Structure 1
């Protein structure tokens, strides 16, 4: 099971990432763009993900992933259940969400091509 402190430990290593508490929800962002956010009870995590690929992600693992609320469907966003997420997968999802919101040169510096 993944927890907020697990994600926090990773996010602190990502350049330009900052943590914020907004309406009792922990969110990580780059500038003003949120790339990871937790539910108030910290049982689910939303993260940046390409809209055109999210249906396939959810269909592949419907017990882990789910669509965000109707008001957030317009965003590049998908959600998951933290209790079913392992650390390796979390690292991949959070890093890819961060990569979506930083300049390409910074992602290349951090992650390579």
Structure 2
């Protein structure tokens, strides 16, 4: 189980990541582009994923990953934070960040 503070620790540890609320929800951004949104009512995290992962994750583990109606036309899946460990969440948030980060920033990050 990962808390909102755990999400913050991972998300804000990524280069140039910031947190700014939208509609009263904590949103994690890179250069003002959202890559994850905490949804308190679901104790979940809407996380940006590739089109392939948007289809695969809910099929592989429907108790952990879902695509509620609100996110049907987006590139987000909702992660049940009570069912995921920090390591897997770190992988998801890092990939979400990579999908939103500008090329040069992502290249610097990948170069280590």
Q: Is the 8 A contact 1:18 1:30 kept in 2?
A: yes
**Gapped runs of 5+ residues in structure 2?**
none
Match of 1:64 in 2: 64
SS in 2 for 1:99: helix
Label 1:73 to 1:32 Cα distance change in 2 as closer, same or farther (>3 A): farther
TM-score normalised to structure 1 length: 0.87
Match of 1:28 in 2: 28
Q: Is the 8 A contact 1:44 1:81 kept in 2?
A: yes
TM-score normalised to structure 2 length: 0.88
RMSD: 1.8
Cα distance in 1 between the residues matched to 2:69 and 2:110: 31
SS in 1 for 2:59: helix
